[in-house]
Structure 1
Amino acid sequence: MTQRRLYLGPLTDNRRWERVAIRPDDVIVVTPPKCGTTWMQTIVALLLSGDPEVETELSIRMPWVDIRLRDIDEVAARLEAMAERRSMKSHTPMDGVPLDGAAQYICVFRHPLDAHFSFRNHVRNTPLRWFDHWYPEEDPGGVAFKRFLDGGPEGFDTDAMPLAHILRHYEAARAVAERENVHLFHFADMRRDLAGAFARVAEILGVTHPPGLMARLVQAATFDNMKADAARFCPSGGKGFFRSDAGFFASGANGQWEGKLTAAELEAYDAAMQAALAPEARCWLEFGAEA
C-alpha cells in the first residue's frame, strides 16, 4: 500500500490490489458506483472482442477486484491465467488504486444527485441488508439524503457512497488526469453521443473496427438493449443475485432528483458543492462537457 490511500469498507478492501500483477495492456475502469461502470465495461468488452453478441460475464471476466464477496486468491489466479487482454473494475478512488505507467485507466462520473438516486434504487434491488442503515425503505425524515451529505469519503462510509466519496473520486482522478493513460468520461456525454464515446474508447484501447461493425457494437450498448437483455449484461446476471436483473438498469436517465428533494435539501447540497469545487470543475462533474 506504499503511497496509496487505504479504502476499507464493509464490502470493499483496496488492499486486495496487492495480489494483482498489472500488465501493460490492462484496462481498469475506475468509478464511483452507479456512474456508468457496467456501461463502460460493456463498451470495453464489445470493442476488445469485436463481437456484438459477446457474453460479457463482467463479474468473472472483468472482475471487481476490491469487493470482498469473492476470494482474492481465486480472483488473482483467474486473472493471472487469462491469456487475452484483461479488464477490471474498481470503486476505489484513483489514489487507492495501483497506478501503472502503461495500463489504461478509464474513470466515469455522473451528476452526484443522479448517482445518489440510482444508488437508492440499486440497494433496494440487492439482498445486502447492510445498506438498510443508510437507505431505509421507509424514509419520511430524509435520512438517506442527510447521510449522503454527511458521510465521509473513506472508512465505514465508503461503500454507502456519500457525496464526499464521489468528490474524493473526482479529486483523485483530476490529480492524475494529465497522464496519457488516465481518461475521464461523463455519463451525460455518453448518453448524448454514445458513438462518440465508443470512438474515444476505441482510440484509448488501440482497436479499430469497420464502420458497419462499430454501428452494431454501439447498438448493443444502448440502454434499451442492455435492459431488454439484462440477464446478459447485468453483473452476475441470470444467477439470482439481484431481485431483478432488469431492475439493475433502473432508468439511466439524467435529472432523477428533480421534484424529489426539498428546497432545504437542495440548498444543503449546493452549499457542499460550492465549498468543495470551483465553478468550472463542479459544472463538469454535474453535467459533463456540454454543460
Structure 2
Amino acid sequence: MTTRKLYLGPLTDNRRWDMVNIRPDDVLVVTPPKCGTTWMQTIVSLLFSGDPEVETELSVKMPWVDIRIREMPEVADRLEAMRHRRSMKSHTPMDGLPLDNRAQYICVFRHPLDAHFSFRKHVRNIPLPWFDTWYPEDDTDGIAFRRFLDGGAEGFDGDAMPLAHILQHYKAAMAVADRPNVSLFHYADMTRDLASTFARLADILDVSHSTAVMDQLVQAATFDNMKANAVRFAPSGGKGFMKSDTEFFHSGTSGKWRGRLTDKDLAAYDAIMEAHLTREDRAWLEYGSHGTVAS
C-alpha cells in the first residue's frame, strides 16, 4: 500500500488488493458506482467466452475485490485457482489500485447526476440500512443531494458516492490515461453505439470473433435483454442480495435528473464542476465523446 492512496470506507477497503497477484492478461473494470460497471463486466464476459448464453455470475467469476462482505483470503484463493483469463471489479479510483503494466484497466464513467439518481434508486433495492442516513426514503428536505455535493472523496463518505468521489475517480483515471493499458469509456457512448463499444473493447483485449458471433454478443448485452434476464445478469442474481433483480436494471436512460433539481441545486453542482474540471473534461465526463446533450 505504500505507493497507493488509501480508500477505506464502511463497505470497502482497497488494501484487499494487496492479496491479489495480478496476472499479465487480467482485466480490471474500474468505475464509480452506477456508471455501467455491470454492463461493462458483462461485455467483457461475453467477449471472453464468445458465447451469448454464457452464465456471467459476475460476483463469483469477476469479483468486486474491494467490498468487505466476503473474507479476502477466500476471494484471493478463488482468484488464484482460476485457470482462465480473469476479470475483476473495483470502485476504487485508479490511484488506489495496483497499477501493473501488463494488465488492462477499463475505466467507465457516466454523467455524475445520472449516476447519483441511479444510486438513489439502487440503495432502496439493497438491504443495507447504512445508506439510510445519506439517502432517506422520504427525502423532503433534499438531504441526499446536499450530501452528494458536500461529501468527501474517501473514507466514510466515499462509499456513499458523493460528487467528490466521482471527480476523484475521473482525475485519477486521467492521470494515467496516457498508458497503453488504461482505457476510458463512457456510458453515453455505450448507449449510443453498443456495437462500437464491443469492437473497441475486443481490440483492447485482443479478442476476435466472427461478425455473426459479435452481433449475437451485442444483442445479449442490450439493456432490454439484460433486464428481461435479470436473474442471470444482475450481480448475485437469484441469490436474494437485492430486493428485486429486475429493479437493478431500472431504466438505463440518461437525463433522469432533469426536472428533479432546483435552480439552486444545479447552480451549486455547476460551481463544483467548474472549479474542478476544464470545460473539455466536464463535457466528456457528462456526455462522453459527443461532449454535449444527446439529441
The normalised TM-score by structure 1 is 1.00
1:236 and 2:228 correspond: no
Amino acid across the alignment from 2:219 = Q
Is the partner of 1:288 in helix, strand or coil?
Answer: helix
Deviation at 1:141, TM superposition (A): 0.8
Q: Indicate the residue corresponding to 1:170 in structure 2.
A: 170
Measure the CA separation in 1 of the matches of 2:169 and 2:91: 9
Amino acid across the alignment from 2:92 = T
1:191 and 2:181 correspond: no
Measure the CA separation in 2 of the matches of 1:93 and 1:45: 22
Deviation at 1:290, TM superposition (A): 1.1
Is the partner of 2:224 in helix, strand or coil?
Answer: helix
Displacement over 6 Å in runs of 4+: none
Is the partner of 1:241 in helix, strand or coil?
Answer: coil
Is the partner of 2:159 in helix, strand or coil?
Answer: helix
Q: Indicate the residue corresponding to 1:141 in structure 2.
A: 141
Amino acid across the alignment from 2:173 = A
Deviation at 1:69, TM superposition (A): 0.2
Measure the CA separation in 2 of the matches of 1:288 and 1:241: 32
Q: Indicate the residue corresponding to 2:211 in structure 1.
A: 211
Q: Indicate the residue corresponding to 2:254 in structure 1.
A: 254
Is the partner of 2:290 in helix, strand or coil?
Answer: coil
Amino acid across the alignment from 1:80 = E
Measure the CA separation in 2 of the matches of 1:11 and 1:165: 15
Amino acid across the alignment from 1:221 = A
Q: Indicate the residue corresponding to 2:24 in structure 1.
A: 24
Q: Indicate the residue corresponding to 2:79 in structure 1.
A: 79
Measure the CA separation in 1 of the matches of 2:3 and 2:279: 30
Amino acid across the alignment from 1:236 = S
1:281 and 2:278 correspond: no
The normalised TM-score by structure 2 is 0.98
Deviation at 1:3, TM superposition (A): 1.2
Is the partner of 1:178 in helix, strand or coil?
Answer: coil
Measure the CA separation in 1 of the matches of 2:99 and 2:249: 30
Amino acid across the alignment from 1:184 = L
Amino acid across the alignment from 2:168 = R
Deviation at 1:2, TM superposition (A): 1.7
Q: Indicate the residue corresponding to 1:99 in structure 2.
A: 99
Measure the CA separation in 2 of the matches of 1:51 and 1:75: 25
Measure the CA separation in 2 of the matches of 1:267 and 1:141: 18
Amino acid across the alignment from 1:271 = A
Measure the CA separation in 1 of the matches of 2:219 and 2:290: 23
Measure the CA separation in 1 of the matches of 2:250 and 2:83: 35
Measure the CA separation in 1 of the matches of 2:99 and 2:123: 30
Q: Deviations 1:13-52 (Å, cap 9, x if unpaired)?
A: 0000000000000000000000000000000000000000
Unaligned runs of 5+ in 1: none
Identity of aligned residues (%): 73
RMSD: 0.4
Q: Deviations 1:104-156 (Å, cap 9, x if unpaired)?
A: 00000000000000000000000000000000000111000000000000010
Q: Indicate the residue corresponding to 1:61 in structure 2.
A: 61
Unaligned runs of 5+ in 2: none
Measure the CA separation in 2 of the matches of 1:2 and 1:214: 42
Is the partner of 1:160 in helix, strand or coil?
Answer: coil
1:245 and 2:214 correspond: no
Measure the CA separation in 2 of the matches of 1:24 and 1:101: 8
